A and B are shown apart, each in its own frame.
Chain A
Amino acid sequence: MSNGNLLEINNLTVSVDDREILHNLNLSVKPGETAVIFGPNGGGKTTLLMSIMGFPRYRVIGGSIKFKEQDITHMPVDERARLGVGISFQRPPVVRGVKMRDMVLACLRRDDKEAERIVDELAQKSHMSNFLGRNINAGFSGGETKRSEMLQLLAQGPDLALLDEPESGVDLENISLIGQLINEVLGKIHPIRERSRSGLIISHTGHILDYVNARTGYVLCGGQIICDGDPHDILNTIKDKGYQECVVCLKK
């Protein structure tokens, strides 16, 4: 990759239902890098992830998204997924009649003899073995939903994982498991040098930083990235002074 970026977003402007949410947003992610995005509610964090994944409701009206040096700005969702972008949803829909096992198998995109065994192994790792026969997301608790999302990402193995508030609605007991699963999705089990998988994590509380190391932190506010730096520094400032400080800081 010429400039070494896995993901490169230039001047991205996105509207949802005719309301502009992101304005000329710029962001890049290197291979192996994990970045955390902070920001107030309604700031555009979810919109950013949904736009990178390419859901049609999030309409790009300006700028571009490049992934692995390809312009994916107008590429359909499924093609992006196959190219290596994956997402974990905050509130995924229930799909009646589609079993968890079939979903994980579909994520795996292989139908050889090994596939079933891999599904069982990943499910065990995610503490989801008892859910494989159930309809996807039907009656799942907060923690179960997150584990199910992580299980699907483990099977999919994306080069860029977009994680929308992976810790929300998860009790303390489960949060370290979610952290472990994220680390596995992001390939953090490998030595730093060999890592190529990247992650963009939206976090409200920053709790996930106790379990997942992130190199960069961003503050997304009013549809723009207004700050970047060490994620722990940013988090401490926000905890101390709230997002108001970010806005004030920007004006200086």
Chain B
Amino acid sequence: MLEEIKSCREKAISARDKKAASGDDVDLDKYESHAAQAPQNNTIASISSDIKQAALSTGVMLDDQSQRSGTFVQIDNRPMHSAAAQEGIEVMATSEALAKYAWMKDYLWKAVDVDTDKFTAHTELNQADGYFMRALPGVKTTYPVQACLYMSRSRAVQDVHNIIIAEEGSELHIITGCSAAEREPGVHLGISEFFIKRGAKVTFTMIHSWSPDVEVRPRTCAIIEQDGLFMSNYVIMRPVRSLQSNPTAYCVGKNATVRFNSVIVATPGSKIDIGSRAILSAKGAKTEMIARTISTGGEIISRGYIEASELETKGHLECRGLILGEQGIIHAIPEIKGCRAGVDLSHEAAVGKIAEEEVEYLMARGLSRDEATAAIIRGFLKVDIQGLPPMLNAEMQKAVKQSEADLF
């Protein structure tokens, strides 16, 4: 294991100044960097009400955990609380898992490359902690497991490194809420590595609620084995200075499936470069990507990439964007690459405005122009997520609904 650690470290050092493949560069030297602090296991009661409130707006319920199968809280670089509430479900700090399980070396930096760019390097060099979640073989979460990642320090970098493992035939539902103290500048770097074993199913619903001066650079990869399913649902509707993320799912086993759903709103001053990538390298692997983007004055680059190199692979990618108001940029970049005969890939992209005909139709039923517009936008943001448990779907719709209030 020492060898492994050493080689990771060396790779990270070599990538220290490596700029990201896309998105604006972030000068990390302008921010304070802190090594991870040893995990604590505080009671939820000791967590401040401000943080609880922020967590709640991202679907994380700290006060009432009766409908959660586990909870993890990290503030800045210190895990504050971790607890599993169901037999066969493990929730702990990544550092604790590393100490507990020798096999963790087979997972750490095995989905995401440590030398991807300066952001992955920074996370490694600061020995980032984060959450470790695991469902034992055949175990299915009754309720979702939740994680709250909160930034409280001003002008600091938050490093997070998460490892999620769904063992064979298990089912793991996760809600992650990321938030920051009001108006504090900072950088969030989050590595998430998902391992979805044979026949396992993971739904990952992540809601971001940053503040207007935060820069966010998550790095996420998932490895999906035979008959596995990974469903990623992502929502960002509140202001952020810049966010660049392009999670990749590798469907390496027969019939492995990945679905990405994103709801993205860029307010004035926000710059969001976001995408999803699926590499279908096994027979029958499938993907579906749906992005709904709205600019109320900010800039969005909405990427999508599907690469298929095996028989009976199938992928569809859809990005639809609405520009509301005078300013705003939405740049959709859908890409599909078929590498052999027998693949079935398609995409559709549209950027436009609200159709006046639709507004008038609703007005003819008595809705005011504002009510009609709101109903159409609400409908636009309502992605019907196939296969998401009703409860998670409700959480996601609730988060969208809460943020809508800021939109109109």
Contact = CB atoms under 8 A, between A and B. Distances in A.
Interface residues on chain A, size class: 20 to 34
Interface string A85-114: 011010011011111001100110100000
A106 B380 contact: no
B358 interface: yes
A89 B361 contact: yes
Given A55-B360, A77-B360, A106-B375, A97 B365 contact: no
A93 B361 contact: yes
Contact of A78 (B355, B357, B358, B366): B366
A229 interface: no
B405 to A, nearest CB: 17
A86 B363 CA distance: 10
B365 A103 contact: yes
Interface string B336-373: 00000000000000000001011011111111110110
11 contacts: A53-B364, A78-B369, A78-B372, A81-B366, A87-B364, A95-B362, A96-B379, A97-B382, A98-B378, A109-B366, A152-B365
B170 to A, nearest CB: 31
B300 interface: no
A156 B372 CA distance: 16
Given A98-B375, A102-B375, A93 B357 contact: yes
Contacts of B371: 106
Interface of B: 355, 357-358, 360-369, 371-372, 375-376, 378-382
Interface in A65-95: 76-78, 81-82, 86-87, 89, 92-93, 95
The interface residues of chain A, by DSSP majority, are classed as mixed
Interface of B is mostly: helix
A135 B375 CA distance: 12
A106 B364 contact: no
B382 A81 contact: no
B357 A77 contact: no
B366 to A, nearest CB: 4
B367 A106 contact: yes
B361 to A, nearest CB: 5
Given A98-B376, A98-B379, A106-B375, A93 B367 contact: no
Interface in A171-208: none
A72 to B, nearest CB: 14
A229 to B, nearest CB: 30
Contacts of B376: 95, 97-98
B348 to A, nearest CB: 13
A86 B366 CA distance: 9
Contact of B364 (A81, A96, A97, A102): A81
A81 B366 CA distance: 5
Contact of B355 (A82, A93, A102): A93
A97 B373 CA distance: 12
B118 to A, nearest CB: 39
